[in-house]
C-alpha cells in the first residue's frame, strides 16, 4: 500500500511553498508596521519630553506653590501624560494623577535609563492608568545640575487596536489565500495526477494478465510519451507470450503425440509433469503430480538413477522391466538433467521396447524350437543311416524298415521346412500385396473342402457333420489360402481325435460377419495351453512324445496368420478329452444379398 499519494504530497509541497512565505511575510509586515509606529511615537514623545524638560526645571525648585497650569495645558492640548520625577524617584507632577498618592518611580526602566544614558523609553502597563503606555523620559538640568526626569507618555491602545485590526485582516487574508491555494492546488494536482492514476490502474490490469489493455493518455508531455512506451512494451510482451504459448502448445502436442512416455522430476524425485502417454501408461492422476515420488510406478532404480543423474549432472540410460497391470513391459529410460529458474529437474523419457524385446525373445525361442524340431528327425536319420552302413544289408526286411523311417523323417523335415518357408514368404510385405483376393461363396468353398478331405477322415473311420447357413454368405479372400486354413484345422481335428470320431463343420451369419466353426470330439487342449497354441512350434504335448501323430507345431500359427491376412479373427475353446472348437470370423462382403 502507498503511504502517501502523489496528489497529497504535491498539494502539501505547493501549500508549504505558497503559505510559508506568505505567513513569514505577513508576520514580518505586521511586526514592521508596529515597530515603525512605536519608533515614530517614541521620537515624537522624545521631542515633547525634551520640550517639557526645557521648561520644567522651575517645577522642581518651587514644588509646592508652582503653577502647573502650563504643563496642564500642554497635556490637555497634546493628549500627553506628563510626569516629573525628581532624582530620588518621587513624582513631582503628573498630569493624569495626583502626584502625592503616586509611589516612588525610581525603579521605572525609562527613569533609570534617562538618569544613566540621557534618554529612556519603555512600553509598560501603567498600574496607575491600567493600560499600556509608551513612556519616554529625559533628564532635567538647571545650570548643569540634574534635577530629575521629565517623562512624557502616551497610551498605545489606539496603536494596539490598529495593530490588532491589521493582524486580523492579514490573518483573514492569509486564511482566505490558504483556502484558495489549497483548492487551486488540489485541482491542479488532480489534473496532473489523474493521468498517473489512470496509468497506474492500466498497469495493474496489465500485471493481472490483461495484456490487451492500452494506456490512452493525451497530456502532450512526458507522461504521454511514457504511456506510449508502456503500450509498446505490452504489445511486445503479448507477442512474446503468444509466441511462447504457441511454442509450448506445439511442444505439448509433440510430447502428447509421441510414442514415448515423458516424465519430469524435481530435485527431490517428485513427479512435476507428465505427458499423455506417461499419464495413461503409469496411471498418473493430477493428485499424484507434485506429491508422489517416481518410485510410485514401481521401481526404485528409476529414482536412484535420477538422483545420480542430478548429482553428476550427466545423462543416464537404463533398461527397465516393470509390471504394468497384468503385462510386463521393457523400457529403455533416458535421464537428462537440466536447470530452470535455479531449480534442477530431470527429464525421463521412457522408450517402450517391449515389442522389440518380445520379438527378440520370440526369435530366440523360434531358433531354439526350429533347431529342436529339425534335430529330432536328423538324429533319427543319422542313427538309422549309421546302422544301415554298419550292417551288411543282408536282412532286406530290416533294411527296408530302416529306410522307411529315414524316408518318413526326411518327409517330416521337408514338411517343416516347407511350412517355415511359406510362413516366411507370407510374412514379407511384397507377397502380402501380391496375394490376389476374390469373392468366395462360403458354403460352396466348404463343400469342396469336405469333398477333398472326406477320404482322409475315412482312413480313421471319422465323418463330417455340417450345419451351413441357408444365406448366401460371401467373403473376400484368396481361394487357395482360404482352403488351406480349413485343411490345416481339419487335419489337426483328425489327428487329435480318436478313430470313428465326428467332426462338425458349420457356417452362419452374425450381423455383418461370417462365422465358421470346426468342432471335434478329440483329446482337447488344456486351458493353460490355449493362449499359446497359435505360437510357432508350440505343442500342447510338451514331451513331444506323440511323434506318431506327426506335426511340427507351426500349422496353427500359419492358420492364424492367413485368417488375419483376410481381416478375420480366430478363437479356440477346448476341454480335455471332450474336444476342441475353433471359431473363425470373417467380415462379409457388403453388397451381397442375404
Ligand atoms: P502340429 O503340427 O503339432 O499339429 P499345430 O500348430 O497345428 O501343430 O498345433 C499346435 C498344437 O495345438 C498341437 O501340437 C496340439 O497340441 C494342439 N492342437 C491343435 N489342434 C488340436 C485339436 N483339434 N485337438 C487337440 N489339440 C490340438
Query: 520 in ligand 1 pocket by Cβ < 6 Å?
Result: yes
Q: Bigger pLDDT: 174 or 491?
A: 491
For the ranges 60-64, 345-349, 382-386, 457-461, the lowest mean pLDDT is seen at 60-64
Atom number in ligand 1 closest to CA 522: 24
Q: Is the CB of 553 under 6 A from ligand 1?
A: yes
pLDDT for 494-553, tens place per residue?
999 999 989 999 999 999 999 999 999 999 999 999 998 998 777 766 544 444 555 667
pLDDT (mean) for 202-220:
89
**Does ligand 1 have an atom closer than 6 angstroms to the CB of 540?**
yes
Euclidean distance between CA atoms 237 and 241, whole angstroms: 6
Please give the pLDDT value at position 544: 44
Res. 62 pLDDT band, cuts 50 70 90: low
DSSP conformational letter for 154: E
pLDDT attached to residue 194: 87
Say how many Å lie between the CA of residue 394 and the centre of ligand 1. 41
From CA 425, how far away is CA 430, in angstroms rounded? 9
Which helix (H) or strand (E) is 483 found in, with range? helix 479-495
User: Is any atom of ligand 1 closer than 6 Å to the C-beta of 468?
Assistant: no
pLDDT exceeds cutoff 60 at 570: yes
pLDDT of residue 594: 43
pLDDT reading at 428 higher than 80 = no
Compute the distance between CA of residue 538 and CA of residue 531 in angstroms, rounded to an integer: 10
Share of the chain above pLDDT 90, in %: 32
- Predicted local distance difference test score (pLDDT) of residue 550: 58
pLDDT at 344 over 60: yes
Taking the CA atoms of the chain, what radius of gyration do you get in angstroms?
Answer: 64
383-394 mean pLDDT: 87
| Contacts of residue 252, Cβ cutoff 8 Å, sequence gap at least 6 | 275
Q: Give the pLDDT of residue 546.
A: 45
Residues whose CB falls within 8 Å of the CB of residue 198, separated by 6 or more in sequence, listed in order: 215, 217
Q: Is residue 108 pLDDT above 50, yes or no?
A: yes
**How large is the average pLDDT for residues 456-480?**
93
For residues 370 and 411, what is the distance between their CA atoms, to the nearest angstrom?
16
* Alpha carbon distance 145, 494 (integer Å): 176
Query: Is the shortest distance between the CB of 555 and ligand 1 below 6 Å?
Result: yes
Q: Indicate the pTM of the whole model.
A: 0.48
Q: Is the CB of 582 under 6 A from ligand 1?
A: no
pLDDT of residue 234: 92
Choice between 350 and 392, residue whose per-residue pLDDT is larger: 350
Q: Can you tell me the distance from the alpha carbon of 379 to that of 387, in angstroms, rounded to the nearest whole number?
A: 12
Q: Which of 366, 539, 572 to mutate to test the pocket of ligand 1 (most atoms within 8 A of CB)?
A: 539
Which positions ≥6 away from 219 have C-beta within 8 Å? 195
Cα–ligand 1 centroid distance for 315 (angstroms): 50
pLDDT at position 11 over 80:
no
Is residue 4 over pLDDT 70?
Answer: no
Evaluate if residue 588 carries a pLDDT over 50: yes
Query: In angstroms, how far is CA 284 from the centroid of its own chain?
Result: 19
Residue 554: predicted pLDDT: 81
- Sheet architecture: strand order including 316-324: 271-274, 261-266, 343-352, 327-340, 316-324
Lowest mean pLDDT among 17-26, 252-261, 536-545, 578-587: 536-545
Average pLDDT of every residue of the chain: 86
Residue 229 has pLDDT above 90, yes or no: yes
On the CB side of 115, how many CA atoms lie within 13 Å of its CA? 17
The response to whether residue 579 sits with its C-beta less than 6 Å from ligand 1 reads no
Say yes or no to pLDDT of 13 above 50: yes
pLDDT score recorded for residue 38: 87
Going from the Cα of 556 to the center of ligand 1, the distance in angstroms, rounded, reads 7
| CA 492 to centroid of ligand 1, rounded, Å | 6
Residue 463 — pLDDT band, cuts 50, 70, 90?
very high
For residue 549, report the distance from its CA to the centre of ligand 1, in Å. Answer: 10
Residues 418-440: what's their mean pLDDT? Answer: 82
C-beta of 566 in contact with ligand 1 (< 6 A): no
Residue 336 has pLDDT above 90, yes or no: yes
Residue 496: CB within 6 Å of ligand 1? yes
**What residue owns the CA closest to ligand 1's atom 21?**
492
Q: How far is the CA of 440 from the centre of ligand 1 (A)?
A: 27
> Using a 6 Å cutoff on CB, does residue 581 contact ligand 1?
no
Mean pLDDT of all residues in 196-217: 90
Amino acid at each position: 500500500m502507498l503511504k502517501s499519494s502523489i496528489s497529497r504530497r504535491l498539494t502539501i509541497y505547493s501549500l508549504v511553498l505558497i503559505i510559508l512565505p506568505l505567513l513569514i511575510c505577513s508576520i514580518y509586515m505586521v511586526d514592521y508596521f508596529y515597530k515603525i509606529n512605536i519608533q515614530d511615537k517614541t521620537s515624537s514623545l522624545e521631542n515633547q519630553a525634551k520640550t517639557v524638560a526645557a521648561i520644567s526645571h522651575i517645577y522642581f525648585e518651587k514644588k509646592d506653590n508652582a503653577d502647573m497650569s502650563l504643563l496642564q495645558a500642554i497635556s490637555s492640548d497634546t493628549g500627553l501624560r506628563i510626569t516629573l520625577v525628581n532624582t530620588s524617584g518621587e513624582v513631582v507632577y503628573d498630569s493624569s494623577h495626583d502626584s502625592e498618592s503616586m509611589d516612588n518611580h525610581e525603579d521605572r526602566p525609562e527613569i533609570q535609563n534617562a538618569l544613566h544614558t540621557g534618554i529612556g523609553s519603555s512600553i509598560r502597563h501603567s498600574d496607575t492608568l491600567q493600560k499600556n503606555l509608551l513612556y519616554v523620559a529625559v533628564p532635567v538640568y538647571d545650570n548643569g545640575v540634574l534635577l530629575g526626569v521629565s517623562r512624557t507618555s502616551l497610551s498605545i491602545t489606539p496603536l494596539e487596536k490598529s495593530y490588532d485590526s491589521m493582524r486580523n485582516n492579514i490573518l483573514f487574508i492569509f486564511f482566505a489565500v490558504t483556502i484558495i491555494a489549497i483548492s487551486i492546488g488540489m485541482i491542479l494536482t488532480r489534473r496532473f495526477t489523474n493521468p498517473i492514476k489512470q496509468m497506474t490502474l492500466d498497469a495493474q490490469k496489465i500485471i493481472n494478465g490483461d495484456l490487451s489493455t492500452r494506456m490512452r493518455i493525451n497530456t502532450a508531455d512526458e507522461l504521454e510519451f511514457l504511456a506510449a512506451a508502456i503500450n509498446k512494451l505490452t504489445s511486445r510482451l503479448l507477442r512474446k507470450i503468444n509466441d511462447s504459448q504457441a511454442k509450448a502448445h506445439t511442444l505439448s502436442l509433440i510430447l502428447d503425440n509421441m510414442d514415448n512416455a515423458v516424465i519430469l522430476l524435481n530435485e527431490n524425485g517428485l513427479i512435476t509433469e507428465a505427458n499423455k502417454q506417461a499419464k495413461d501408461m503409469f496411471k498418473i492422476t493430477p493428485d499424484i503430480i507434485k506429491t508422489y515420488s517416481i518410485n510410485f510406478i514401481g521401481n526404485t532404480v528409476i529414482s536412484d538413477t535420477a538422483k545420480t543423474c542430478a548429482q553428476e549432472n550427466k545423462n543416464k540410460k537404463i533398461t527397465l522391466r516393470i509390471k504394468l497391470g497384468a503385462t510386463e513391459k521393457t523400457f529403455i529410460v533416458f535421464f537428462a538433467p537440466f536447470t530452470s529458474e535455479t531449480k534442477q529437474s530431470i527429464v525421463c523419457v521412457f522408450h517402450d521396447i517391449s515389442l522389440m524385446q518380445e520379438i527378440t525373445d520370440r526369435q530366440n525361442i523360434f531358433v531354439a524350437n526350429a533347431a529342436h524340431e529339425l534335430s529330432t528327425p536328423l538324429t533319427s536319420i543319422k542313427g538309422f543311416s549309421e546302422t544301415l552302413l554298419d550292417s551288411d544289408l543282408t536282412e532286406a526286411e530290416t533294411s527296408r524298415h530302416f529306410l522307411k523311417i529315414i524316408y518318413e523323417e526326411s518327409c517330416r523335415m521337408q514338411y517343416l521346412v516347407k511350412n517355415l518357408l511359406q510362413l516366411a514368404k507370407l510374412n514379407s510385405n511384397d507377397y502380402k500385396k501380391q496375394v490376389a483376393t476374390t469373392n468366395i461363396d462360403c458354403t460352396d468353398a466348404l463343400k469342396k473342402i469336405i469333398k477333398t478331405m472326406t477320404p482322409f477322415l475315412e482312413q480313421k473311420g471319422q465323418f463330417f457333420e455340417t450345419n451351413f447357413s441357408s444365406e448366401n454368405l460371401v467373403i473376400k479372400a484368396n481361394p487357395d489360402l482360404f482352403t488351406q486354413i480349413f485343411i490345416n484345422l481339419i487335419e489337426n481335428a483328425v489327428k487329435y481325435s480318436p478313430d470313428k470320431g465326428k467332426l462338425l463343420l458349420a457356417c452362419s451369419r452374425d450381423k455383418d460377419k461370417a462365422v465358421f466353426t470346426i468342432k471335434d470330439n478329440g483329446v482337447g487342449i488344456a486351458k493353460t495351453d490355449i493362449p499359446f497354441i497359435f505360437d510357432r512350434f508350440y505343442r500342447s504335448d510338451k514331451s513331444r512324445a506323440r511323434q506318431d501323430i506327426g506335426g511340427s507345431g507351426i500349422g496353427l500359427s500359419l492358420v492364424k496368420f492367413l485368417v488375419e491376412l483376410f481381416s478375420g479373427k480366430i478363437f479356440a475353446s477346448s476341454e480335455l478329452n471332450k474336444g476342441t472348437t475353433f471359431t473363425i470370423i470373417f467380415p462379409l462382403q457388403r453388397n451381397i444379398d442375404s
